Copies of this chain bind each other. A is one copy, B any other.
Amino acid sequence: MTSRDCPLCTGSGGELVWQGADHRVILADEPRHPGFCRVIWRAHVREMSDLSSVDAARFMASVLIVERVLREQLAPDKVNLASLGNVVPHLHWHVIPRWVDDSHYPDPVWAPARREAPGRTIDAAALSDALREALSHT
């Protein structure tokens, strides 16, 4: 099941970090939110509840592995998880490390920005390595 008009069917959706049989993890190009990852189901499926319960549980387990690695590697103040898909109705999870001094905190990243955020540099290569290592055991 793919859709020729869907950017998550036709492209990776970001820097590919890990590719499993039916879902992948990418590092998003979100300069104001370093470490922003997405976990993307391979098939063009709309809602979590369209997956079988086994598939949904495996997919969510990967989302939580990403959350755990982000916490270990980046020590954010909070992690935000969301599956929205209003614009791109192809099942994907946003896994977003948040800091109290980021541009939007404590609002969600989809609200208007509250401030200029400090330039926070992360070690994307180390993060990608840690994600691949953790996801390789799934």
Contact = CB atoms under 8 A, between A and B. Distances in A.
Nearest to A89: B78
A68 B48 CA distance: 9
Interface string A91-123: 000000010000001111011100000000000
Interface stretch (A3-11, A30-38, A57-65): A57-65
B82 A80 contact: yes
Given A47-B67, A57-B60, A108 B84 contact: yes
Contacts of A87: 106
A14 interface: no
A81 B48 CA distance: 9
A38 to B, nearest CB: 14
